[in-house]
Structure 1
Amino acid sequence: MADKVTETVEVCNKLGLHIRPSRYLSSLAKSYDAVVSVKNQDRVALADSQLDLLMLLASKGAKLEISATGPQAAEAVDSIVKLVQDRFGEKD
């Protein structure tokens, strides 16, 4: 079994993981050769599914656990953590 890479990151944009950020995150996850999941408390979503990500109900301050397995797992987790830290490109 492939090694699992996991990091935790806090959502810091004002509106949380709403429609636009979830689209960015799912598109980014799809660009890697890895299976990526995102966990918020007891909810888990496949990162390549925008609808799954919206169902996390991740508001500002939520601590997301980003996990991945596969050949590009480390790169996928790193880039998604950076996207979240960059507030999904939002200015708030």
Structure 2
Amino acid sequence: MTEVAERTVTVASKVGLHARPAALVAKTAAAQSVEVTIAKDGGTPVAASSVLNLMTLGAAHGDTVVIAAQGDGAEEAVEAVAAVVARDLDG
């Protein structure tokens, strides 16, 4: 059976998932062994490894996003990306 993981996280960066935070999230997502998606709560999921996708998501500070992945290593991939989104990356 395919491993499926999903986690809801609040965006911690004051600028939201824009510019530098988006680049860090995309880099983390691209480093995973499975494709990781991200969506605003109730929105359409996009590839978390794309800076452009993350910036067009329009996720602002305090917004809730859903991070998901499936396949071997999905849980670890979701945790890795969630940890970056939940951290204040503005510093």
TM-score (norm 1): 0.88
Q: Measure, in 1, the Cα distance between the counterparts of 2:74 and 2:48.
A: 12
Contact 2:3 2:73 (C-alpha < 8 Å) held by counterparts: no
The match for 2:34 is: 34
Residue 67 (1) aligns with residue 68 (2)? yes
The match for 1:19 is: 19
Q: Structure 2 regions of 5+ residues with no counterpart? A: none
The DSSP-based 3-state class of the residue aligned with 1:66 is: strand
Q: Measure, in 2, the Cα distance between the counterparts of 1:70 and 1:87.
A: 28
Q: What's the % identity of the aligned pairs? A: 30
Which runs of structure 1 show a deviation greater than 3 angstroms over 4 or more consecutive aligned residues? none
Superposition RMSD in Å: 1.3
Partner amino acid, structure 2, of 1:81: A
Partner amino acid, structure 1, of 2:68: S
Q: Measure, in 2, the Cα distance between the counterparts of 1:29 and 1:35.
A: 7
Q: Structure 1 regions of 5+ residues with no counterpart? A: none
Q: Measure, in 2, the Cα distance between the counterparts of 1:43 and 1:62.
A: 15
How far the C-alpha of 1:44 sits from its partner, in A, is 2.1
Residue 6 (1) aligns with residue 6 (2)? yes
Number of residues of Structure 1 aligned to a counterpart in Structure 2: 90
TM-score (norm 2): 0.89
